[in-house]
Structure 1
Amino acid sequence: MFPKKHIIIFITICLLLILLPSSILSARSVRIDTNDLLIRSGPGTQYDPLGHANDGDTFPLEEEQVDWFAIDYNGEIGWVSRQYASMISQDTNNHDTEAKRDDPLSFPYVFNIPVEVVNLRSEPTAHSTKLDEIPYNQEVTVLDHVNEDWIEVEWQEQHGYIPAIVVDEMINKQSSTLATLQGKTIVIDPGHGGHDVGAVSVTDRYESDYALYTSRILQHQLELLGANVYMTRDDDFYYALTPRSSLANYVHADVFLSIHYNSEPQFPSATGINTFYRNETDQGLATAVHSAVIKKTEANDRGFESGDYLILRVSKRPSLLLELGFLSNAEEEQNIQSHTYQLNISQGIIEGLEAYFNDKSS
């Protein structure tokens, strides 16, 4: 199931593929986002290097895994970390660039910004340079859909990228989400890391890797909606628990989320999502987020309850610890590996945060 905010974009792209000439069909590629990146013979740092790539280099995409892209590198399969690369679309042929205001299924086309403000970025990533802020109702020219998250636009003689959700007709219904999360400070804690791998899945993968994968997607989605996001780790390194919670206290976070996955090897049929809070004042946050994640993922509901975890004890901010599924269950791990399922987790958390903040302000 696609997240709701992408449904209209997905339908539009499908119509483009059906109705428009083959000259605008796109192929998926991987663009390198850093210099001197090692290309390895397998999906992990334990594999031998095949060579190097630099910022801006592109390669045909062969396969995706949780944290790695497989690319066509000089006629053989090479692997690059998703942390330092992005999946993009490339036009296979040139197409007519004459603007057609009355036909939104042709590129380029013109539309008006339907939200209060949107950041114009130099590259299709939330971490790239902000070129400008485009105010509400400003007319922009859409040049292309880079992927499901970003579109290429031109505005006041500036060329850049904006989040794809702003062209979704559903955005008018979701404008309250944008207003609610705009400017909120969210600290995300990807559980474990480094030598502390956490649970080991039935396919011998680590909870620490899955937690970071989920956290990066959530970070990206929250930043698209205007939130200020801090990560307690953005690499495979172990950081003590107390400083993680202390970061949330230091930045005066509106919400602190610790991301984890569960495991019960002695009960391989166990499935579902748990949510934990510590202070009674955070029960409303737990209720909102847990309910929305269950609704969005349709996972087994294991409920939410108070838990005396160190990372929750140290935090003085509204805090949750989320156990987002069982790595000891083969079918559930397969779901967790799905990018679509990860987007559903992210969207569920976001909708829960929206409900929580709206309830606080009422």
Structure 2
Amino acid sequence: MFRKYCTMYICFTLLFIASFANTVTLTAANEQVTINVDHVNVRNGAGLTSSIIAKVKKGQTFDVVEKKNDWIKIELSRNETGWVASWLVKEKSSSKSSNSSVSNGNVISKATSLRIRSGPGTSFSVIGVFDKGKTAQYLEKSGRWIKISYSGKSGWVAGWYISKTTNTSAATVNPSTNNKHVKIIYNGTNIRSGASTGHSIVKRANAGETYTLLDTVGNWYKINLENDKIGYIAGWVVETSGINSPVTKPGSGKYVKNKTIVIDPGHGGQDSGAVGTRGTLEKNMTLVTAKLVYNKLRSAGANVFLTRTNDTYISLQSRVSTSHYRNADAFISLHYDSTSDRSASGTTTYYYNSLKDSPLAARLNSSIAQQSNLKDRGLKFGNFHVLRENKAAAALVELGFLSNRTEELTINTSNYQERISQGIFNGLALYFK
């Protein structure tokens, strides 16, 4: 009898352990799945009761993020994941590099804004961003995730978005003895076969890519692409190095020439600002816009200064101090909006002092609204530190809602960034005129 009960106890114990083990979430390492039936529902949780967030088709292949019971979490895109039933897919080892060769030294980001997380998986919180082209110190590896040390903090990044480098700093795409280069400011920048917008697009470049500058053709730069191919890029949409006189934007207003203008990209560093529905960080977008405005103004002969040029935290008082130190004629703080109302949309311009600030704010608001093609939310009073404490004519602009999914996608396009930066430039020209 004792043996019988003991045997039953062991059986139940083993069954309990097996059942418990079956519910543990596993992190997949270097695996992929291929959809095995015509259509498969992707859900927001591991079960048939979870809501459907997407549908995928037979033959599509996805990277595995996690496994749980009979469900597999897949990566739909860089910012989206979902769950599929394991009996509807075929599992296989991934041919994508797992970065197993990365065991020491440094790594470089291949993604525009690679999220740094507190642990090795997408379920862990985001603690920072590893910018494209930047270099970080390799610390350790767990599955397909890499732990790095970057900007004074350590965290985990997806290993399939980084590559190993033996250099201590990020290398340019096309290293050359020629010290003249152009650097791409935002994703989706068009490189064309000739020096005008009428020529065909030969490549779309992403932020951080650097190309050797061969010649200046009117308002365009002739650049060297891979395999010694030639391309042309508009001179007013890139940063330049080794060039004394950057090209001038066609039709640039003479009114901003010799004016001192401070452009303030909102947020930065540990202050990410608003976070979009698809993960866009406000601090990244304000810097992209600021650099475009900077190039336009500089090309027109203005004395332009940025309160920050990289992902660094700058206090509100330091931003105002830059304006005072430079004896600015105008100060513009750039932001992107967010609210719990997902339908909210449009651009807004704020001022503090109706006599000092509102003339600048009014001209910026009308020009931005004209260029953005978004809803014009108008001119409003704003009791913001960078406006209230500023001696210069100052305005704060909200350039669209990251909390609106459609507007977030628009904001991330190169076309919108070009138009919105031109709107700010036009507003300044009208103000000084």
Distance 2:274 2:243 in 1: 41
User: CA offset at residue 314 of structure 1?
Assistant: 1.5
Q: Is the 8 A contact 2:188 2:206 kept in 1?
A: yes
Look up the equivalent residue of 2:372 and give its one-letter code.
T
1:280 aligned residue: 354
1:345 aligned residue: 420
- Pairing partner for 2:207 from 82, 91, 98: 82
Deviations 1:289-336 (A, max 9, x none): 110110111210100122111111111100000000000111111110
Indicate the structure (1 or 2) with the bigger Cα radius of gyration: 2
User: CA offset at residue 201 of structure 1?
Assistant: 0.3
* Structure with the larger RCO, 1 or 2 (CA within 8 Å, 6+ apart): 1
Whether 2:132 is the aligned partner of 1:39: answer no
1:356 aligned residue: 431
Deviations 1:271-303 (A, max 9, x none): 000000111121111111110110111210100
Q: Is the 8 A contact 1:272 1:324 kept in 2?
A: yes
In structure 2, the CA distance between the partners of 1:67 and 1:235, relative to structure 1 (3 Å rule), is farther
Look up the equivalent residue of 2:207 and give its one-letter code.
R
- Helix, strand or coil at the partner of 2:392: coil
Whether 2:224 is the aligned partner of 1:149: answer no
Distance 1:145 1:42 in 2: 23
Distance 1:82 1:37 in 2: 21
Q: Is the 8 A contact 1:40 1:47 kept in 2?
A: no
Whether 2:304 is the aligned partner of 1:229: answer yes
Distance 1:237 1:357 in 2: 31
Deviations 1:216-258 (A, max 9, x none): 1111111111111111111112111011011101111111010
* TM-score in terms of structure 1 length: 0.60
Whether 2:164 is the aligned partner of 1:51: answer yes
Distance 1:195 1:67 in 2: 23
Distance 2:316 2:370 in 1: 30
What RMSD over aligned residues (CA atoms) do the two structures have, in Å? 3.6
Deviations 1:146-194 (A, max 9, x none): 312279xxxxxxx97865557xxxx4xx36x0x2111111111111111
Whether 2:311 is the aligned partner of 1:242: answer no
2:272 aligned residue: 197
1:220 aligned residue: 295
- Helix, strand or coil at the partner of 2:298: helix
- Helix, strand or coil at the partner of 2:233: coil
- Helix, strand or coil at the partner of 2:262: strand
Look up the equivalent residue of 2:302 and give its one-letter code.
A
In structure 2, the CA distance between the partners of 1:252 and 1:65, relative to structure 1 (3 Å rule), is closer
Matches within 5 A, 1:10-159: 39-43=108-112, 44=114, 45=130, 46-48=157-159, 49-52=162-165, 54-55=171-172, 57=174, 66=186, 82-83=207-208, 85-86=209-210, 146-149=232-235
Aligned identity (percent) is 33
- Helix, strand or coil at the partner of 1:146: strand
In structure 2, the CA distance between the partners of 1:217 and 1:250, relative to structure 1 (3 Å rule), is same
User: CA offset at residue 206 of structure 1?
Assistant: 1.1
2:139 aligned residue: none
User: Structure 2: 5+ residue runs without aligned partners?
Assistant: 1-104, 115-129, 131-156, 177-183, 190-204, 224-229
Look up the equivalent residue of 1:210 and give its one-letter code.
M
1:330 aligned residue: 405
Look up the equivalent residue of 1:51 and give its one-letter code.
K
User: CA offset at residue 39 of structure 1?
Assistant: 3.4
Look up the equivalent residue of 2:108 and give its one-letter code.
I
What is the number of equivalent residue pairs in this alignment?
Answer: 247
* TM-score in terms of structure 2 length: 0.51
Distance 1:82 1:38 in 2: 18
More strand by share: 2
Between 45-54 and 252-261, the greater mean CA deviation after superposition: 45-54
Q: Is the 8 A contact 1:40 1:51 kept in 2?
A: no
- Helix, strand or coil at the partner of 2:305: strand
